[in-house]
């Protein structure tokens, strides 16, 4: 598969409806992201933050889902860190690197900060060679990292992010001295700092890992971050403690401990929160409006708020299907009769944001009103009448109650415009298998899909979903447009950020004018938090910087 295909297939398995039922959301009148805490921070206390599942891994080699990456985010650091700026947009900020530079977006030089140390029991200073060793560990195919594809741009990797020759390793990564790292890429890629904010690029003490063994290290990994792993009781809890020897003392974290109980059922999580045992909770489906108006929220004891996710829900169109791929007017009519607002309000409890394109809010360069064919039932009806009618179309989605509700809403809108749709539901793996066959036998003409980005960049939405060589397994649409491909490649190599955003926006606009996928909504996560905790914020990549919270 191509470089980002593994990611696209993996997250696409979390389809439109499945992502909706993660109780994410927000409600009119509730406090929103960025609400300032009044009390001054102080040290001590425990922060109780639940996880929805036992992580696959909590260290860079294989941290791949939200729970594991949330834990690793507190324990590990890389050259770069993602930060949410005052506008709520994710940017790349210095982490262990104090600076970086490039002249061609293909050869990069990173200068490391002095005095960065690994947590006990390692304790030694981090050097540039540690990054060479860490990235070689991740990209070595013998280590079977599922997230190695993130590092695919590195010279010496193949399209899956595995080393072309494990005997040689990464030919493009070398330590010029103890504090200078040179990184050469396979192609110009201006978003390199963004991908280096991903957990997979964090530094690890490979010499220590070789000493204690992979299994022991995976259970209690050592990074450089403000919190250390004290224990991981499988399917029960993960406990973190403040790193007593953190190299950045001014940002060492306020709370003494972070308790992360693993609570798979949202109903149970919500009950524990209301009992005062948790500081944060999701809300069971169907209870968002009620939760947002609880007396504790009204009184300011709790905060109910929606936080953006790096994800978009859309209806994919099989561009290899003759009835749709060759008929832009029919695709336009489908878009203009897809009632995204009703989907957000009814199926999503008013939580998701109606999508204006494919790149969500919170991603630098996001543009509003990108879709040239917004909901307009009257116009859609006129188009179908002008076509002399429309063929009956097959619509696929995953088996679940929310997915069925979405299907009914869309089917009603399409029927009102004169487009008959035959819905069919499938288990996720069956649906993915069918869509992977594309026009060679899937039978799907329309399908519900969700996509989650790996890093906060316009390119990580547009390239894997719609670049010609990616779209068959990225968005499953089979979309191909040479002009779009040229814009995407040009954007990936453009160093000036604003110019890069403009190029991506042009590509997004052109894709939308072809309408291979109907954007419905941007995901948000609805959380109720206990205001005994100050400094809580959840960034658009889904992370909470727990070193910024404190017990009031």
Q: 35, 534, 491: which is closest to 304 by C-alpha?
A: 35
H or E stretch including 280? strand 280-281
pLDDT score of 441 more than 60: no
pTM over 0.85: yes
User: In 3-state terms, what secondary structure has residue 528?
Assistant: strand
443 pLDDT tier (thresholds 50, 70, 90): confident
How many Cβ atoms are within 10 Å of 316's Cβ, its own excluded? Answer: 26
| Cis previous bond, 223, omega within 30 | no
CB contact set of 46 (below 8 Å; sequence gap of 6+)? 255, 256, 257, 258, 259, 551
Residue 262: DSSP 8-state: B
Q: Where are the alpha helices (DSSP H) in 299-422?
A: 322-325, 328-336, 340-342, 377-386, 401-416
The pair of structure tokens assigned to 127 is 């050097």
Mean pLDDT of the chain: 92
For the segment 333-363, what is each residue's pLDDT rounded down to a tens digit? 999 999 999 999 999 999 999 999 999 999 9
Is 3.40.50.720 the CATH number for 51-261? no
Question: Do residues 360 and 88 make contact, with C-beta atoms less than 8 angstroms apart?
Answer: no
Q: Which CATH architecture has domain 308-525?
A: Roll (3.10)
pLDDT score of 90 more than 70: yes
The pair of structure tokens assigned to 405 is 């509700």
The torsion angles phi and psi of 252, rounded to 5 degrees, stand at -80, 0
Please, which residues bridge with residue 125 across strands? Answer: 117
The arithmetic mean of pLDDT across residues 419-432, rounded, is: 94
Domain with CATH 3.10.105.10 in the chain: 308-525
For the segment 214-245, what is each residue's pLDDT rounded down to a tens digit? 999 999 999 999 999 999 999 999 999 999 99
Distance CA 433, CA 248 (A): 48
H or E stretch including 292? helix 288-292
Distance CA 158, CA 63 (A): 21
Domain with CATH 3.40.190.10 in the chain: 51-261
């Amino acid at each position: 598969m191509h470089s980002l295909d593994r990611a696209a297939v993996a997250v696409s398995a979390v389809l439109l409806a499945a992502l909706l039922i993660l109780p994410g959301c927000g409600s009119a009148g509730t406090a929103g992201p960025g609400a300032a805490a009044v009390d001054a921070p102080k040290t001590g206390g425990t922060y109780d933050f639940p996880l929805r599942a036992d992580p696959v891994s909590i260290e860079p080699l294989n941290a791949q889902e939200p729970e594991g990456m949330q834990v690793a985010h507190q324990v590990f650091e890389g050259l770069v860190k993602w930060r949410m700026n005052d506008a709520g947009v994710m940017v790349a900020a210095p982490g262990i690197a104090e600076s970086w530079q490039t002249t061609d977006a293909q050869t990069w030089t990173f200068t490391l900060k002095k005095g960065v140390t690994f947590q006990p029991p390692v304790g030694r200073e981090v050097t540039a060679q540690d990054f060479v060793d860490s990235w070689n560990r991740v990209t070595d195919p013998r280590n079977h990292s599922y997230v190695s594809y993130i590092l695919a741009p590195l010279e010496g990797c193949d399209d899956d992010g595995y080393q072309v020759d494990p005997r040689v390793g990464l030919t493009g990564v070398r330590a010029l001295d103890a504090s200078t790292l040179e990184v050469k890429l396979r192609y110009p890629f201006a978003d390199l700092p963004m991908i280096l904010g991903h957990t997979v690029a964090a530094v690890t003490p490979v010499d220590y890992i070789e000493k204690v063994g992979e299994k022991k290290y995976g259970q209690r990994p050592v990074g450089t971050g403000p919190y250390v792993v004290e224990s991981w009781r499988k399917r029960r809890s993960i406990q973190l403690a403040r790193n007593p020897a953190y190299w950045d003392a001014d940002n060492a974290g306020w709370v003494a401990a972070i308790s992360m109980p693993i609570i798979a059922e949202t109903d149970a999580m919500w009950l524990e929160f209301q009992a005062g045992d948790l500081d944060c909770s999701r809300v069971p489906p169907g209870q968002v409006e009620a939760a947002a108006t609880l007396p504790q929220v009204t009184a300011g004891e709790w905060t109910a708020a929606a936080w953006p996710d790096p994800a978009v829900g859309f209806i994919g169109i099989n561009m290899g299907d003759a009835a749709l791929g060759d008929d832009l007017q029919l695709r336009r009519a489908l878009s203009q009769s897809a009632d995204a607002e009703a989907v957000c309000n009814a199926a999503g409890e008013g939580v998701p944001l109606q999508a204006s394109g494919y790149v969500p809010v919170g991603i630098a360069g996001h543009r509003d009103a990108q879709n040239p064919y917004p909901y307009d039932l009257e116009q859609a009806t006129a188009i179908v009448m002008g076509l002399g009618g429309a063929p009956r179309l097959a619509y696929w989605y995953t088996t679940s109650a929310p997915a069925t509700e979405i299907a009914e809403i869309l089917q009603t809108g399409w029927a009102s415009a004169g487009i008959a749709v035959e819905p069919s539901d499938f288990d996720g793996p069956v649906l993915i298998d069918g869509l992977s066959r594309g026009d060679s036998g899937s039978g799907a003409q329309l399908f519900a899909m969700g996509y989650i980005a790996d890093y906060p960049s316009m390119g990580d939405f547009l390239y894997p979903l719609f670049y010609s060589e990616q779209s068959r397994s990225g968005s499953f649409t089979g979309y191909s447009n040479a002009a779009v491909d040229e814009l995407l490649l040009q954007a990936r190599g453009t160093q000036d950020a604003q110019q890069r955003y403009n190029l991506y926006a042009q590509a997004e606009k052109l894709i939308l004018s072809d309408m291979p996928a109907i954007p419905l909504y941007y995901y948000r996560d609805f959380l109720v938090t206990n205001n005994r905790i100050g400094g809580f914020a959840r960034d658009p990549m889904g992370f909470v910087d727990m070193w910024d919270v404190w017990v009031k």
